[in-house]
Amino acid sequence: MSYLEHTVKYTPTGPRKVLYLNWPIALLLVSVAAIGFLMLYSVAGGSFLPWAEPQMKRFAIGFVLMLGIAMVPLYFWRNVAPLGYLCTIALLALVAVMGDTGMGAQRWLDLGFIRLQPSELMKITLVMLLAAYYDWLPLSKVSHPLWVALPVAMILLPTLMVLTQPDLGTAILLLAGGGAIMFLAGVHWTYFAAVIAAGVGVVTAVLQSRGTEWQLLNDYQFRRIDTFLDPAADPLGAGYHITQSKIALGSGGWAGRGFMQGTQSQLNFLPEKHTDFIFTTLAEEFGFVGAVSLLALYALIIFFCVVSALSNPNRFAALLTLGIATTFFLYFAVNMAMVTGLIPVVGVPLPLVSYGGSAMLVLMVGFGLVQSADVHKPR
Amino acid sequence: MRRPSRETAQSQRRITRRGLLLGGMQAGVLATLAFRMRYLQVKEAEQFRFLAEENRINIELIPPTRGQIFDRNGRIIARNVPAYRITMTRKDAGDVEAVLARLDALIELSPQDIATALEDLRTRRGDTPITVADRVTWEEISRVAVNAPALPGVTPEVGLSRTYPLGADFTHVVGYVGPVSDYDLSRIDAPNRLLLMPRFQIGKTGIEAHEEERLRGKAGTRRVEVNAAGRVMRELDRQEGKPGDDLQLSIDHMLQNYTQSRLGDESAAAVVMDTETGDLLAVASSPAFDPNLFVNGISSTDYKALLENERRPLVSKSVQGVYPPGSTFKMVVALAALEDDIITPEDTVRCRGHIEVADNRFHCWKRAGHGNMDLHTALRESCDVYFYELALETGIERISAMARKLGLGERYDIPMSSVHAGLVPTRDWKRAARGEEWVIGDSVNASIGQGFVLASPLQLAVMTARLATGRSVSPRMIKSINGVEQPSGHGEPLDLNENHLRAIRRAMFAVSNNNRGTAFSSRILTDEYRMSGKTGTSQVRRITPAERRAGVTRNEDLPWNRRDHALFVNFAPHDAPRIAVSVLVEHGGGGSTAAAPIARDITLQALYGDDPPLSAYPAKDRARISAQQERLRDLRPPPRDDRPTRA
């Protein structure tokens, strides 16, 4: 028992591991997912089908998967990280060659029993690989240009592959998630300053490229930027998403219209109401109180992850936990910023709430790793 | 993984520092999001809630059924018939061109229709229905309905459209409806939302325009909840509108048809008025046109033809046209002189063919002169000099007062467009309008209904009715509204000396029945239907002394548009007047030859209620009249047929 042997480092083994699971995180995940079920039930007009029920099944599977991964010693995950990364790269390549096309983008791989989205999986395997890399790399070499170039290549390869699908949202998430781990690992801040400066330059170049022969983004992406800057210009056309989303959100008011009473979402004014824009339904039906409550739940998950990471002396564990937490943070922050009209519309789901199998399972795998790091923490 | 513990400690410190930094940034982002939500959901909530309501609820107008118009016997003149059209929705159609091609094979669209439809389908939102074909027949609609499975996104729709089963007969009275134009909207201060509905029809002329508000009714509304695609999910509530009022006119459609047909292609107008009630039994103007052309959108060539026709078919001459009344004005002058005791019926004036007034010579129509004339003979033979002398004695003010008393110079409240008030001149009027003083020559001209005096055929009919009855009969065109009888135009006694009136009526009787009367050739032989009338011929231009010397005075030698207007007014039967009639034939020549026969025929038709027996006509005219009756009978509307007319 750890509290009797406080001077002795102790790592739980065998079935005792269950006692050391990070239960606060597990409970928070269940609460967020439950909110998701509720909203999917609501947008289906008070029905478990077609969304709520499959979502619940998937969450159950994901939860068990999380527990399973948590029981596996952390060093195993560190050792398989490079292999996992390579496999995901291979899957991404496969998608590019023979993937299904959905919503104008080639993202899905139909494996028969599950429609897998390798770009989602990449978010986790990239974090694992980078954490393992910095665990292996001596601290003195972290800021050496050569040892910086290597992880940058690891990040850019999948990012570019995802970008060609095209899936701007995931690409941004990969880039930001990977960058966050490099930052945490202690890469010198001048690199980040340089990247940010370069980023501003690239954005300028992209905007300048419009209409020229070397145009860097698709027209639809440019249009999204346009409508973001001025959604009122074309409220029924390209600005439709943002305008309708803001209307739904704003009309919720302080306490919302009440469960199942959201006129905007119930009447299909909202685009993608069960996936990327599900937050608007929540905000409309439960108002500011509901919206901020969900935000608080997400914040608590991040908080517990950060606490777990910072108390873990294992470098891989700490980096992995913070990396996954950051990925999770990017998910919901980008999604919420998008539906509240702070940033342009990019296809990023609300984690654990939006309807969707791949994202849900991948996130649960990620939290399985977080749990594993926590369980196998020496105490 | 073996690593010196110092390094582990150092690594952990760095991770802690950077981790806290990253966590702080994330907290900042979270705070931003929370503030953004507070802004949208608390500060701006009111506005967004309003927008949401707009999004969700559509108020749809239920167009009211336009009131129908009947004649005095209940024959329908303006009715609503179902009109079919075919719409198409891009979203449901899928392959638009293929579907259009299939539709074309079924109902044959013009290449222009297809081009417009394709353009509309391309540019509008995918869920908006586009009209592909308008005014299609029931057969075509059924063909489309039967083939519905092969035509995704194609919907046959039904609405109501106006139609005028009696065609041209009532064009000038009832007018027509048409789609609301920008011009219509510009004339209305606060346009009713109904007017903005696509394909809504509004009265453009005649009763349709004058009684627009009454006929239109009030729109109902239904509030419906719609989804983003505009599809109605359910009806929240419904407020029934009020259909437009049904109007029954005083006009008899058979007499109207006869009158209109009798005028034929002449540029002419005729009014038949019931002297008892003031009911207008026929108000005709020719040429006429088919109002249904306008309802369905007239072609520009047709419209141009109507617009450029020198006989002005678009003008309702019976109420909008004003003309110098010519000799028909002489009764007014005579009555004014009699009432003011300036003359007695027996006083005589010697007509030498002209008089000299203020260095001007005024001619009588009979160059040789009539000799000694009293009231009776002067009216009978329409001697001008007699009335010149009367006017000099009486003065324009008293003549004008009598003209007004007899119904001239007044704008009657009948439901037609641009009803003209005519003109009864006075000294003040001339000073105000022309900036000149009244001169004696003006009075002389006015005495024979020339110069400034202007009257419409309707006013002349009213004048005749008042002479016939001695009451201030006024015209009534709407007999009842939704079955509620409207006040009649019977009128009060005019406070005129009955002996004077009788003298004038006797003279008018002589006009038609004495062999020296100007309208003797157009007399009625049926004893109980004898008529009393007065011819009139009004000059369109002045005959110059040079022309008079050259002898070009014969109307037939002049181009049509410079010939005189022919007028005739009459009432009948003489002993117990029932109707008053006025006829005007623009540039018809003399009143006795061009207008009187028409007035006689109309009078007989009105009194008999059908074709009169030939015995009513002078023997030498019977063959011609018989042929004419034959011809006009073919133009009659079919016997009552109120089945819905095919669109």
Compute the distance between CA of residue B591 and CA of residue B538 in angstroms, rounded to an integer.
9
pLDDT at B5: 46
pLDDT winner (highest mean) among B2-11, B173-182, B376-385: B376-385
| The residue type at B426 | T
Min Cα distance B2 → chain A (Å) is: 10
Residues of chain A with Cβ-Cβ distance to B31 below 8 Å are none
Question: A21-30, B189-198, B454-463: which range is least confident on average?
Answer: B189-198
How many of the other CB atoms lie within 10 Å of CB of B549? 8
pLDDT at B644: 44
What pLDDT digit, counting tens, does each position of B72-101 carry? 999 999 998 888 878 787 766 777 888 888
A222 Cβ under 8 Å from any chain B Cβ:
no
What pLDDT digit, counting tens, does each position of B161-202 carry? 889 999 889 999 999 998 777 777 777 765 566 776 666 788
Cβ of A288 within 8 Å of Cβ of B27? The answer is no
Q: How confident is the model at residue B647 (pLDDT cuts 50, 70, 90)?
A: very low
| Helices B596-608, B253-263: crossing angle, 10 deg rounding | 160
- Measured over the CA atoms of residue B22, residue B27, residue B30 and residue B31, the dihedral's sign is negative
Question: A8-17, A287-296, B304-313, B623-632: which range is least confident on average?
Answer: A8-17
Number of H helices, E strands in chain B: 25, 21
**Nearest CA among B386, B456, B447 for reference residue B422:** B456
Q: Give the pairing type, strands B220-226 and B201-203.
A: unpaired
Q: Which residues contact A209 (CB under 8 A, 6 or more apart)?
A: A215, A216, A217
pLDDT at A263: 64
Name the burial class of residue A80, with classes exposed (0-12), middle (13-18) and buried (19+) by CB atoms within 10 angstroms of its CB.
Answer: middle
Q: From B1, which residue of chain A is nearest by alpha-carbon distance?
A: A136
Q: Are A354 and A277 in contact (CB under 8 A)?
A: no
How many of the other CB atoms lie within 10 Å of CB of A150? 12
Tokens for B413, please give them: 């409240």
Question: Which is higher by pLDDT, A217 or A233?
Answer: A217
Place of tokens 């869920």: B127
Maximum CA pair distance of chain B? Answer: 152
Tokens for A258, please give them: 């009440």
Residues of chain A with Cβ-Cβ distance to B228 below 8 Å are 244, 267-270
pLDDT at A43: 82
Averaged pLDDT of chain A: 82
Say whether B472 is catalytic: no
B40 vs A138, A249, A337: nearest CB: A249
- How many CA atoms within 13 Å lie on the side-chain side of B11? 26
Cβ of B55 within 8 Å of Cβ of A269? The answer is yes
3-state class percentages of chain B: helix first, strand second, coil last, to nearest 5:
45, 20, 35
B36 vs A139, A298, A342: nearest CB: A342
Phi then psi for residue A236, to 5 deg, are -100, -10
**Residues paired with residue B484 on neighbouring β-strands, in sequence order:** B481
**Nearest CA among B105, B87, B106 for reference residue B152:** B87
Cis amide linkage into residue B287, ω under 30° from 0: yes
Question: A304-313, B374-383, B550-559: which range is least confident on average?
Answer: B550-559
Q: From A262, which residue of chain B is nearest by alpha-carbon distance?
A: B52
Residues of chain B with Cβ-Cβ distance to A184 below 8 Å are 15, 18-19, 22
| Statement: residue B645 has pLDDT above 50 | no
Cβ of B47 within 8 Å of Cβ of A250? The answer is yes
Q: From B12, which residue of chain A is nearest by alpha-carbon distance?
A: A313
Min Cα distance B91 → chain A (Å) is: 15
B64-87 b/e (C-beta count within 10 Å ≥ 16 → b)? bebbbbbbbeebbbbbbeebbbbb
How large a percentage of chain B has pLDDT more than 90? 45
Question: A44-53, A318-327, B387-396: which range is least confident on average?
Answer: A44-53
| The residue type at B305 | A
| The residue type at B403 | A
Cβ of A244 within 8 Å of Cβ of B36? The answer is no
The mean pLDDT of A46-67, rounded to a whole number, is: 88
A254 Cβ under 8 Å from any chain B Cβ:
yes
Residues of chain B with Cβ-Cβ distance to A246 below 8 Å are 40, 48
| Statement: residue B265 has pLDDT above 60 | yes
Min Cα distance B158 → chain A (Å) is: 28
**Nearest CA among B442, B416, B418 for reference residue B324:** B442
Cβ of B11 within 8 Å of Cβ of A342? The answer is no
Compute the distance between CA of residue A293 and CA of residue A19 in angstroms, rounded to an integer.
29
| Statement: residue A170 has pLDDT above 70 | yes
Min Cα distance B129 → chain A (Å) is: 16
| Statement: residue B467 has pLDDT above 70 | yes
Question: A311-325, B91-105, B116-130: which range is least confident on average?
Answer: B116-130
Cα A304 vs. chain centroid, distance in angstroms? 17
pLDDT winner (highest mean) among A71-75, A199-203, B459-463: B459-463
Cβ of A269 within 8 Å of Cβ of B229? The answer is no
The mean pLDDT of A11-24, rounded to a whole number, is: 81
Tokens for B408, please give them: 């001239």
Compute the distance between CA of residue B613 and CA of residue B618 in angstroms, rounded to an integer.
11
What is the SS3 assignment for A362?
helix
Min Cα distance B119 → chain A (Å) is: 18
| Statement: residue B510 has pLDDT above 90 | yes
Of B161, B261, B285, B327, which residue is the catalytic one? B327
Name the burial class of residue A168, with classes exposed (0-12), middle (13-18) and buried (19+) by CB atoms within 10 angstroms of its CB.
Answer: buried
A307 Cβ under 8 Å from any chain B Cβ:
no
| The residue type at B144 | V
A232 Cβ under 8 Å from any chain B Cβ:
no
B483-518 b/e (C-beta count within 10 Å ≥ 16 → b)? eeeeebbbbeebebeeebbebbbbbbbbbbbbeebb
Q: Are B248 and B70 in contact (CB under 8 A)?
A: yes
Question: A11-15, A316-320, B362-366: which range is least confident on average?
Answer: A11-15
pLDDT at B129: 66
CA-to-CA dists, residue A6 to A1, A2, A281, angstroms:
9, 6, 49
Cβ of A252 within 8 Å of Cβ of B23? The answer is no
The mean pLDDT of B512-535, rounded to a whole number, is: 92
Q: How confident is the model at residue B61 (pLDDT cuts 50, 70, 90)?
A: confident
Q: Are B467 and B331 in contact (CB under 8 A)?
A: yes
pLDDT at B228: 55
Compute the distance between CA of residue A292 and CA of residue B627 in angstroms, rounded to an integer.
95
Q: How confident is the model at residue A2 (pLDDT cuts 50, 70, 90)?
A: very low
What pLDDT digit, counting tens, does each position of B354-369 carry? 998 888 889 888 888 8
Cβ of A269 within 8 Å of Cβ of B51? The answer is no
The mean pLDDT of A16-21, rounded to a whole number, is: 82
Cβ of B55 within 8 Å of Cβ of A264? The answer is yes
Question: A146-150, B108-112, B568-572: which range is least confident on average?
Answer: B108-112
Q: Are B364 and B351 in contact (CB under 8 A)?
A: yes
Place of tokens 């399972």: A361
Running DSSP on this structure, what letter comes out for residue B89? E
Please give the angle made by the CA atoms of A56, A61 and A66, to the nearest 5 degrees. 120
Q: Are B635 and B257 in contact (CB under 8 A)?
A: yes
Alpha helices in chain A (DSSP H): 23-43, 52-71, 74-98, 118-136, 145-163, 168-185, 189-209, 219-229, 240-252, 263-266, 278-310, 315-339, 357-375
Q: How confident is the model at residue B378 (pLDDT cuts 50, 70, 90)?
A: very high
Q: Establish, for the pair of chains A and B, how many residue pairs have beta carbons separated by less than 8 Å.
A: 143
Q: Which residues contact A215 (CB under 8 A, 6 or more apart)?
A: A209
Cβ of A292 within 8 Å of Cβ of B8? The answer is no
pLDDT at B334: 94
B42 vs A268, A288, A319: nearest CB: A288
Question: Which is higher by pLDDT, B645 or B290?
Answer: B290
Tokens for A157, please give them: 């390869």
A283 vs B41, B44, B47: nearest CB: B41
B579-603 b/e (C-beta count within 10 Å ≥ 16 → b)? bbbbbbbbbbbbbbbbbbbbbbbbb
The mean pLDDT of B377-388, rounded to a whole number, is: 92
Compute the distance between CA of residue A242 and CA of residue A277 in angstroms, rounded to an integer.
10
Phi then psi for residue A200, to 5 deg, are -60, -40
| Statement: residue B609 has pLDDT above 80 | yes
pLDDT at A107: 64
Q: Are B136 and B644 in contact (CB under 8 A)?
A: no
Q: Which residues contact B371 (CB under 8 A, 6 or more apart)?
A: B350, B351
> pTM here?
0.60
A333 vs B12, B33, B48: nearest CB: B33
Tokens for B43, please give them: 């500060």
Residues of chain A with Cβ-Cβ distance to B38 below 8 Å are 288
Question: DSSP labels for B284-296?
Answer: EEES---THHHHT
A245 Cβ under 8 Å from any chain B Cβ:
no
Averaged pLDDT of chain B: 85
pLDDT at A69: 92
Cβ of A309 within 8 Å of Cβ of B1? The answer is no
Residues of chain B with Cβ-Cβ distance to A341 below 8 Å are 36, 40
| The residue type at A288 | F
pLDDT at B53: 67
Q: How confident is the model at residue B278 (pLDDT cuts 50, 70, 90)?
A: very high
Q: Give the pairing type, strands B268-274 and B579-585.
A: antiparallel
| Statement: residue B440 has pLDDT above 60 | yes
The mean pLDDT of B270-279, rounded to a whole number, is: 94
pLDDT winner (highest mean) among A14-28, A103-117, B598-612: B598-612
Residues of chain B with Cβ-Cβ distance to A303 below 8 Å are 23
How large a percentage of chain B has pLDDT more than 70? 89
Compute the distance between CA of residue A7 and CA of residue B107 in angstroms, rounded to an integer.
94
Q: Are B250 and B582 in contact (CB under 8 A)?
A: no
pLDDT at A112: 52
Give the start-to-end residue ranges of the domains of chain A.
13-83+129-375
pLDDT at B235: 73
Cβ of A269 within 8 Å of Cβ of B225? The answer is no
Cβ of A269 within 8 Å of Cβ of B16? The answer is no
What is the SS3 assignment for B304?
helix
Question: A363-367, B173-177, B557-561: which range is least confident on average?
Answer: B557-561
What pLDDT digit, counting tens, does each position of B320-331 carry? 999 999 999 999
pLDDT at B240: 79
What is the SS3 assignment for B72?
coil
pLDDT winner (highest mean) among A361-375, B540-554, B555-569: A361-375
A 96-135 residues inside an 8 A Cβ radius of B: 135
pLDDT at B598: 94
Running DSSP on this structure, what letter comes out for residue B611? P
**Nearest CA among A96, A125, A122 for reference residue A109:** A96
